[in-house]
Chain A
Amino acid sequence: KAGVTQTPRYLIKTRGQQVTLSCSPISGHRSVSWYQQTPGQGLQFLFEYFSETQRNKGNFPGRFSGRQFSNSRSEMNVSTLELGDSALYLCASSLVPEKTGTEAFFGQGTRLTVV
């Protein structure tokens, strides 16, 4: 069974540009969550999608947005990039998010560098 796939693995963008990251969850998983990891901040929750609907959102500015498609694949978009957006962006999928005992499975992440 294929794991969570994130593309691209590495990205370099200039301040002010926008970027789109992609995540393909494990087959059958309908919940996809996005996290930002920066040194000293751990994993900061961005948002979670389930059945094409955003169910939960973290404390990030509106420049950060996402969507989920009918095949559960998800994209995350960041507009007007700032230097502080440089981070590892992780996507996680889970099977039945409401059920206790469900683990989240992570992709390898996309390393975004804003210069």
Chain B
Amino acid sequence: DQQVKQNSPSLSVQEGRISILNCDYTNSMFDYFLWYKKYPAEGPTFLISISSIKDKNEDGRFTVFLNKSAKHLSLHIVPSQPGDSAVYFCAASEGGQFYFGTGTSLTVIP
């Protein structure tokens, strides 16, 4: 059973606009949430994370929001750039065990 879900397999956004990637989870015991970015033929690279005790974490153009009551996580990228085009995976952790979503392919159109 998929404990972390990314229901949008793909997303297209104009350069300069905001990209919003969404993620839902089912396990209320998850205590740490992460976003990874993956280019073709490369392994995922860590992007940004958030602890379950927070509801927002910001790092430059990237902001992650956590809504624990809704068990929902989102990644905002603003402004979006063509180099952001990649597959984004959300992940949740419980006791160090990582659970990944199926990924959302983001295309930023110049």
Contact = CB atoms under 8 A, between A and B. Distances in A.
Interface of A: 4, 6, 31, 33, 35, 40-43, 45, 48, 56, 90, 92, 94, 96-109, 111
A101 B41 CA distance: 27
A109 B43 contact: yes
A41 B96 contact: no
Interface residues of B, number: 27
A48 B32 contact: no
A73 to B, nearest CB: 17
A105 B46 contact: yes
B22 to A, nearest CB: 14
Q: Which of A6, A31, A109, A111 has the most chain B CB atoms inside 10 A of its CB?
A: A109
Contacts of A101: 32, 49, 51
B102 A40 contact: yes
B98 A45 contact: yes
Interface of B: 6, 9, 31-32, 34, 36, 41-46, 49, 51-52, 89, 91, 93, 95-103
A107 B97 contact: no
A104 B33 CA distance: 11
Given A42-B89, A107-B43, A108-B43, A102 B102 contact: no
29 contacts: A33-B98, A35-B100, A40-B9, A41-B102, A42-B89, A42-B100, A43-B89, A45-B97, A90-B44, A92-B98, A96-B96, A97-B96, A97-B97, A98-B95, A98-B96, A99-B96, A100-B31, A100-B32, A100-B52, A102-B96, A103-B49, A104-B34, A104-B46, A104-B91, A105-B46, A106-B43, A106-B44, A107-B43, A108-B41
